[in-house]
Structure 1
Amino acid sequence: MINKITTLFNIKYPIVQGGMIWVSGWKLASAVSNAGGLGLIGAGSMYPDVLRKHIIKCKKATSKPFGINVPMLYPDIEKIMDIIVEEGVKIVFTSAGNPKTWTSFLKEKGIKVVHVVSSVKFALKAEAAGVDAVVCEGFEAGGHNGREETTTFTLIPMVKEQVKIPVIAAGGIGTGRGMLAAMVLGADGVQIGSRFVATVESSAHINFKNTIVAVKDGDTQLTLKELAPVRLVKNKFYNDVQELYKQNPTKENLIELLGRARSKKGMFEGDLDEGELEIGQIAGLIHEIKPVKDVLREIIDEFNAIKSLEINA
């Protein structure tokens, strides 16, 4: 399968693994890359020295391309960027910030840059900043989300109409059918997060993985929009947030309830009551924890089978 995304990253399939905090370590990234996609290490939950260790281990585990996802709100971002350059990583996905800030620096070092956006406006800004591609993430996605609440299958054709650079669809995609649908609407590739959380190689806690498998439609909700919109499984912490909303809370009240390390507590340490459990709406279609290679193969097989049916219809 050769297209703009496979050519840009020198990968077999136009599938990018989401660089998710507390989930996307070197084991997951290398497994996705070895299976033909593009694995991403999620730097957002790593101190600089920890990221370096993950990069070194990933280079040993795969000879295929892989990248780093860097939320630009990270406090030690200068150290993170220096490590990426020093370790010879050639692909960086940036998010949660202005793409102008680091794109030129990275591209001068021969690094391909992709920026995550949630609207046409920000896609155009990213293109103007010189990025090589954009990830357009819709409202269905897990974790932190855009404020516009635009769904993936509405966002993709609107962005595709306005930009000339490759477009990667994200949010609510975890199957071959979903991948094909996104590409029919104009996407050149897809980024998949939630489906890769429930894999053997992800660093998510087994309690969280089992919760994902049990999630049904309607079991997640976007909340905490006053701070940073985030899609969560409806657990005790989520219910506590909703109870606080009934009291017309201030932003400070919400920050106090959120506290620190909620996502680590839930996703990495497995506290299903007090932790943030960030996952996308596609979790309702995830029914089993599997190795990455099996997940990716099933997606590609379904994509090819459905595409073949359409061609022969």
Structure 2
Amino acid sequence: MASKNKITKLFNIKYPLIQAGMIWASGWKLASAVSNAGGLGIIGSGSMYPEVLREHIQKCKKATNKPFAVNVPMLYPEIEKIMEIIIEEKVGIVFTSAGNPKTWTNHLQQHGIKVVHVVSSVKFAIKSQEAGVDAVVAEGFEAGGHNGRDETTTFTLIPMVKEKISIPLIAAGGIATGRGMLAAMVLGADGVQVGSRFVATPEASSHKNFKQMVVEAEEGDTVLTLKELAPVRLLKNKFFEDVQALYARSPSKEELKDLLGRARAKKGMFEGDLEEGELEIGQISGLINEIKPAAEIVKEMISEFEAARKEVADF
């Protein structure tokens, strides 16, 4: 891996490989494991009360002396407390998502924190650069969890964003292998963010039932739905079928909200209710066939990346 890589320099890490901050999966165990393996681990604060986040940050610091980050969805109701804790605990890198990057970027940077914003379109990548972020994650609609409305794929999004911004660019959505990593970087990304692959690890805090369903998933088993509320990619299950049945009646937003209710994602991904829970995962789950330690995944991806790079050089 070249020493001049913008992402490894920006974050002071060995490989330009970042683990996504996924709700109910990305606690301190996963983040520290990825950071110790040479990538950048991320604690996903979206499913944590402020004091729970503080505990995860403190445990992560004890488990690794390498850089790690916190992901903050800006729709979070107690975001002021979350940001206060991040600053108090001297976290060096924050990934923001689902909101206006102008809101917190300058404040965090004044405390010496590097800020990365997650986008799903060229328009928001440009706005993020204008807001002064240090890098952007451009995420195609193959990705799991909450997603862009435009359904722009990673393969299309990365070169379009690359054309319009000058700051470091991280590709996300549908990347789980070294070959996928190389493809994204050939298209213009400086690094990659990987979510779904790290769900199927012993270190992920998600429920074993959910991990097993990810491993068993095949092509076509996920779908992007609930666009009227916030687009989300889910595994098909009873809850998804209930959503489809409601759509057949042309529901109002209120009816969709009533069906969604509260804590659906927790019920599915953290508590392991595969029937009534919301099971967020990316399309690439069809390529994930076993649960293995995060360090092994990092090692395999980098090894495959280097091998594929040599193959392409021989063309």
Per the normalisation by structure 2, the TM-score is 0.99
Structure 1 CA distance, aligned partners of 2:91 and 2:122?
29
Residue of structure 1 in register with 2:168 after alignment: 166
Residue of structure 2 in register with 1:137 after alignment: 139
Structure 2 CA distance, aligned partners of 1:91 and 1:293?
21
Structure 2 CA distance, aligned partners of 1:16 and 1:295?
12
Residue of structure 1 in register with 2:159 after alignment: 157
For residue 135 of structure 1, give the secondary structure of its aligned residue in structure 2. Answer: strand
Shift of residue 309 of structure 1?
1.4
Q: What code does the residue aligned with 1:192 have?
A: V
Shift of residue 311 of structure 1?
1.6
Match of 1:71 among 73, 77, 94: 73
Alignment gaps of 5+ in structure 2: none
The 4+ residue runs of structure 1 with deviation greater than 6 A are none
Match of 1:202 among 204, 211, 235: 204
For residue 6 of structure 1, give the secondary structure of its aligned residue in structure 2. Answer: helix
Q: What code does the residue aligned with 2:269 have?
A: M
Structure 1 CA distance, aligned partners of 2:191 and 2:308?
16
1:136-170 CA-to-partner distances (Å, cap 9, x unmatched) read: 00010000000110000100000000000010000
Residue of structure 1 in register with 2:102 after alignment: 100
Shift of residue 312 of structure 1?
3.0
Match of 2:30 among 28, 31, 42: 28
For residue 99 of structure 1, give the secondary structure of its aligned residue in structure 2. Answer: coil
Within the alignment, does 1:43 sit opposite 2:45 as a pair? yes
Match of 2:307 among 298, 305, 308: 305
Aligned pairs for 1:250-265 (under 5 A) are 250-265=252-267
Structure 2 CA distance, aligned partners of 1:47 and 1:145?
23
Structure 1 CA distance, aligned partners of 2:195 and 2:265?
16
For residue 257 of structure 2, give the secondary structure of its aligned residue in structure 1. Answer: helix
For residue 277 of structure 2, give the secondary structure of its aligned residue in structure 1. Answer: coil
Structure 1 CA distance, aligned partners of 2:105 and 2:270?
30
Structure 2 CA distance, aligned partners of 1:252 and 1:310?
51
Q: What code does the residue aligned with 1:54 have?
A: H
Within the alignment, does 1:235 sit opposite 2:249 as a pair? no
Q: What code does the residue aligned with 1:19 have?
A: G
1:276-304 CA-to-partner distances (Å, cap 9, x unmatched) read: 00000000000000001111111011100
Structure 2 CA distance, aligned partners of 1:78 and 1:219?
37
Aligned pairs for 1:56-67 (under 5 A) are 56-67=58-69
Q: What code does the residue aligned with 1:238 have?
A: F
Q: What code does the residue aligned with 1:156 have?
A: I
Residue of structure 1 in register with 2:178 after alignment: 176
1:206-236 CA-to-partner distances (Å, cap 9, x unmatched) read: 0000000000000000000000000000000
For residue 278 of structure 2, give the secondary structure of its aligned residue in structure 1. Answer: coil
Shift of residue 310 of structure 1?
1.6
Structure 1 CA distance, aligned partners of 2:120 and 2:12?
26
Alignment gaps of 5+ in structure 1: none
Per the normalisation by structure 1, the TM-score is 1.00
Give me the identity figure in percent: 74
Structure 1 CA distance, aligned partners of 2:286 and 2:297?
16
Aligned pairs for 1:279-298 (under 5 A) are 279-298=281-300
